[in-house]
Chains A and B, each alone.
Chain A
Amino acid sequence: MTPVTPLKEVADIISEEGGEALRLCYQCGTCTAACPWNRVRDFVVRRIMHQGQLGITDFEDEEVWLCATCNNCVKRCPRGVEIIDVMRALRRVVTELGVAKVPDSLRLSIKNISGLGNPLGEPEERRADWARDLDVKLYTEGTELLYFPCCIPEYDPSVQKVARAMATILKRAGVDFGILGNRASCCGESVRKAGDEGVFQHLAQNNISSLTELGVKRIMVSSPHCYHTFKNEYPALGGSFSVVHATQYLLEIIKQGRLKLGKEVNLKVAYHDPCYLGRHNGIYEEPREVLRSIPGLELMELADHGEDSLCCGGGGGRIWMETKSGERFSDIRIEQALKLEADVLAVACPYCMLNLNDSVLTLDKGDAIKVRDITELVAEAL
């Protein structure tokens, strides 16, 4: 056996980027037991932590790109190690020092985001096309609310219905809102997790400038990823805005009486807690309250719900990476929803929608279950 010697410099770099909390890891293995990857393959999170402590990480290993940043391990870690930050640090080393290859599909998506502001590589001027016949105005100074849909609802044809549903609801409720249109670029949350700090900073500065120039005070987002970065990461870069997620805002206008839900939606609906709403930001009740406000709707709880929600697999930049068939968390999630005999699996995140829809298609369960965003369900009750 070739003995291994710790590499102090590498350990230091990882510790610097991943936070000094990595030093606290006492190798208990809670993270490995918590990680959803171990339901479908081997992923020994604990070993990656110790390799990081010793500076002997194999940067060429595909393991560097597995973490979907679902936060299950971080929440349970008895020593408070910021495991997601460590994973991000490893990816930064690859991205910035070029010690290994960045997965192709990820590289392409980030290239698109960097050049055109969106992962699909679509033209910037087409960002507001989803709203063309809905009479949605651009945000100007003094508009009450900025609606920031996220690149996926804005550009992806299969998810545009979510943005359209929201616009319809806002108009019905008489909310004075606007969108950024082609002034918006990707919020950058997943880019940062995928290790490209440079592109993230660029995106954030771009967005912060636009938002500040327009005097934006309050932003409502459809994606928990946008929510997360606007709320928790932009302030350190000079952009402090009041952020609210779509489900929170919907509950607000329902309670204020501005939005009336009169039509019955007689469906059995299981709610899938998104990692970035639930575990990352503690928002569990509001989405459920919105669903309960829809007349005729029966709310069901999946196994692995709430704090234990099973990640769809889309976080950490993995939405832009290949996941082998048979290793997809979203497949397991669809099976869980089918077991409950739910009509609808309700989501509150565009990435969850993409992944879960994909699973429904590949598992060929389109007749048995539908994936809908909460926004869509609310729109059905108008």
Chain B
Amino acid sequence: MGSEPRIGVYICHCGSNIAGTVDTEAVTEFARGLEAVVLARNYVFMCSEPGQEIIQIDIKELCLNRIVVAACSPTMHEATFRRVLEKAGINPYLIEIANIREHCSWVTEDRELATEKAKALVGAAVSRVYYHRPLETRRLPFTPATLVVGGGIAGIQAALEIADAGSPVYLVEREPSIGGHMIQLDKTFPTLDCSSCILTPKMTRVGSHPNIELLSLSRVEEVSGYIGNFRVKIRKKARYIDAEKCNGCGLCQEKCPIKTASEFDMGLGKRKAIYTPFAQAVPNIPVIDTEHCTYFLKGKCRLCEQVCERGAIDFEQQDEVVELEVGSAILASGFGIFDPTPIARYGYGRLNNVITSLEFERLVSSSGPTGGEITLKDGTTPRSVAIVHCVGSRDKNYHEYCSRVCCMYALKYAHLIKEKTAAEVYNYYIDMRCFGKGYEEFYERLSGEGVTFIRGKVGEITDQAGSNEEKGKLVVVAEDTLLGVLTRVPVDMVILCVALEPPPDVAAMARLFNISRSADGFFLERHPKLDPVATTTDGVFVVGCAQGPKDIPDTVAQASAAAARVLALISQGEVEIEAATAVVDERICSGCRYCIPICPYTAISFDEEKMVCQVNEALCKGCGACVGGCPSDAISLSHFTNEQIAAQMEGMLA
């Protein structure tokens, strides 16, 4: 091959995307005249099979050792053409892409201007590629263990798929039991499957799976490292029960004298100070709530300790912090719900019998505080119920987005109310969003069940009666927009379909795992269409409602998708590290450490012995911030050296 650069230049037409504006023949002719250019060609689609073959053949036959492809943005096909070079037997970094589409033919209609600019861009690329050096992509070993954060359906599905494939999983769940919100639901749309019946088998499998270590009542405290080599600290909060000894008999719960509001039942039911949140909890080990337990508050009682036949109560138990090594992380942290209290005219928190969707789920659940009976606060059965769509969703004043699942569960509630009571049901909607498989059919079924649909966003829910029929009732005021009349409907109960929101600790989680959030607050996926489970942090995936509101089928699909991605990484056994990374010249580095806070990827560390800074090549993304920041000019960026950049500028301005 020889050490003298022999450059081949390829101008792509991209159909008419480039050739429609740029005179590709003229640019090719121009390229032929540049220094060290052995040949220049143009072709209709360089990225196609024949296009790629042209380059490969030329490299072999003409001993080319530098390539310039003038085409679309490097984000599109730099990787494609690098592979071409590899196949042809030369180092993949000996190529430079000139973007004469997004930066040229797509930003002007002026042929002359476009052609002149294309020539300048090609000239720059040619000058630059002259100074390219071969670089090696390094590979690091990939830790085959996976961290799954969140034990709802998303986390459970992902964990099971990875564990079933034979790889170890750590499943971290904040609550005492896995199950998330799905276990709080009664029936699921559109099939009306019993939620617990379809979820508990999966929960049991998680609890007993040899490849899954379940850390419940635990939180992620610290994350460091990079793809293939993450180190995470998990804080396992004290349950005050010895998990080895407890056999889940439930006697302690039975005997405990203290009752308090149950979070699982959304405050509608009670639990004890020592409790499992629900009967099918996994793990089936209780936890002591120190804020209500008499022993922790006053030092008295200890009844649970007395009745426990296994001596499993351990008041002295401490939190435990464990350090885990994993190769990738799947964030399945789920959602929170919008608190409708700020919408004063809906009366939530002020008027009796105005409840949220999750509260209704617990009411209608056979495992709930009323055993599945739909009742008002005073225990009687409602004779009329209003279901209000879009509370806090599709609203500039709260959340602009649509929460996706509410129209469907509103229909579900209508059905359940019709099934269990003789009540009149009114659904107040703006649009009916029934987009999934079986969803529109479910809507048709509900229409047939005698539910009244009123198209209009509810303006007010009031207890101020305007007539005798309204006395003692909740009056729902809304315009029926299809008729153009204002309606007042007196009902006994109002269910607010509240927006899904990111959970309260979403900002802290994003910081821990170094990922972004979109404008709506949910975690940001790498690409909204083509990469919905990956993030811009390699090795960290987001699934389920953590990425945005969605129903169970889509959640499960995303969880499986992320599991597949993780398994692919695990099966490769190693991870490829980008070769264009920063390098500190230790002879010049003065140890001022100015570069360390500059690095957005915390890739630079200080070596105390040598008193110089060092770049962790696996974390470095090659952004160049440290290169610019170093006051001693001690840092250089492979593939973006001063020499290469200067040459690029000279070539452009020639």
A residues with a Cβ closer than 8 A to B are: 26-30, 32-34, 38, 42, 44, 46-47, 76-80, 303, 308
Contact = CB atoms under 8 A, between A and B. Distances in A.
B486 A33 contact: yes
Interface stretch (B127-135, B477-485, B644-652): B477-485
A33 B484 contact: no
A158 to B, nearest CB: 33
Contacts of B286: none
B396 A29 contact: no
Contact of B484 (A26, A28, A30, A44): A44
A44 B479 contact: yes
Contacts of A27: 430, 481
A27 B394 CA distance: 12
A26 B460 CA distance: 19
B125 to A, nearest CB: 43
A33 B479 contact: yes
Contacts of A38: 486
Contact of B459 (A33, A42, A44): A33
Which 6 A-B pairs have CB atoms at the shortest separation, nearest pair first? A33-B459, A29-B479, A78-B395, A32-B479, A28-B457, A29-B456
Nearest to A45: B479
Interface in B450-501: 455-460, 464, 477-481, 484-486
Contacts of A79: 396
Given A33-B479, A44-B479, A78 B345 contact: no
B281 to A, nearest CB: 39
B397 interface: yes
Contacts of A34: 459
Contact of B457 (A30, A80, A303, A308): A30
Contacts of B397: 76, 78
A170 to B, nearest CB: 38
Nearest to A306: B344
16 contacts: A27-B430, A29-B455, A30-B457, A32-B456, A32-B459, A32-B481, A33-B460, A33-B477, A33-B478, A33-B479, A44-B479, A44-B484, A46-B479, A47-B484, A78-B390, A78-B397
A308 B485 CA distance: 22
A28 B479 CA distance: 8
B350 to A, nearest CB: 13
A265 B337 CA distance: 49
Interface of B: 344-345, 390, 394-397, 430, 455-460, 464, 477-481, 484-486
B478 A46 contact: no
Contact of B478 (A26, A29, A78, A80): A29
Nearest to B396: A80
Nearest to A80: B396
B457 A78 contact: yes
A301 B260 CA distance: 37
A28 B397 CA distance: 15
Nearest to A33: B459
A29 B344 CA distance: 18
Count chain B CB atoms within 10 A of each CB in A30, A79, A303 and give the residue with the most. Answer: A30
A203 B460 CA distance: 40
Contact of A46 (B344, B345, B460, B481): B481
A307 to B, nearest CB: 8
B396 A78 contact: yes
Count chain A CB atoms within 10 A of each CB in B345, B460, B479, B486 and give the residue with the most. Answer: B479
B497 to A, nearest CB: 14
A68 B137 CA distance: 70
Count chain A CB atoms within 10 A of each CB in B390, B458, B480, B481 and give the residue with the most. Answer: B481
B394 A30 contact: no
A78 B477 contact: no
Contacts of A33: 456-460, 477-479, 486
B452 to A, nearest CB: 16
B292 to A, nearest CB: 38
A36 to B, nearest CB: 12
Contacts of B484: 44, 46-47
Nearest to B486: A38
A42 to B, nearest CB: 7
Contacts of A28: 390, 430, 456-457, 481
Contacts of B396: 77-80
Contacts of B456: 28-29, 32-33
Contacts of A29: 455-457, 459, 478-481
Contacts of A42: 485-486
B485 to A, nearest CB: 7
Given A26-B430, A78-B457, 11 more contacts: A26-B394, A27-B481, A29-B457, A29-B480, A30-B457, A32-B481, A33-B460, A33-B477, A42-B486, A44-B485, A78-B397
Count chain A CB atoms within 10 A of each CB in B390, B394, B478, B486 and give the residue with the most. Answer: B486
A30 B481 CA distance: 10
B21 to A, nearest CB: 32
Contacts of B390: 28, 78
Contact of A32 (B345, B394, B430, B486): B486
Nearest to B484: A44
A28 to B, nearest CB: 4
Nearest to B345: A308
Nearest to A38: B486
A139 B456 CA distance: 54
A273 to B, nearest CB: 15
B98 to A, nearest CB: 40
A38 B479 CA distance: 10
A309 to B, nearest CB: 13
Nearest to A81: B396
Count chain B CB atoms within 10 A of each CB in A29, A30, A46 and give the residue with the most. Answer: A29
Nearest to B457: A28
Nearest to B400: A78
Contacts of B481: 27-29, 32, 46
B347 to A, nearest CB: 12
A361 B11 CA distance: 87
B344 to A, nearest CB: 8
A214 to B, nearest CB: 42
B584 to A, nearest CB: 51
A38 to B, nearest CB: 5
A377 B457 CA distance: 42
B496 to A, nearest CB: 15
B380 to A, nearest CB: 28
A77 B430 CA distance: 13
Nearest to B397: A78
A76 to B, nearest CB: 8
Contacts of B458: 33
Nearest to B399: A78
Nearest to A32: B479
Contacts of B485: 42, 44
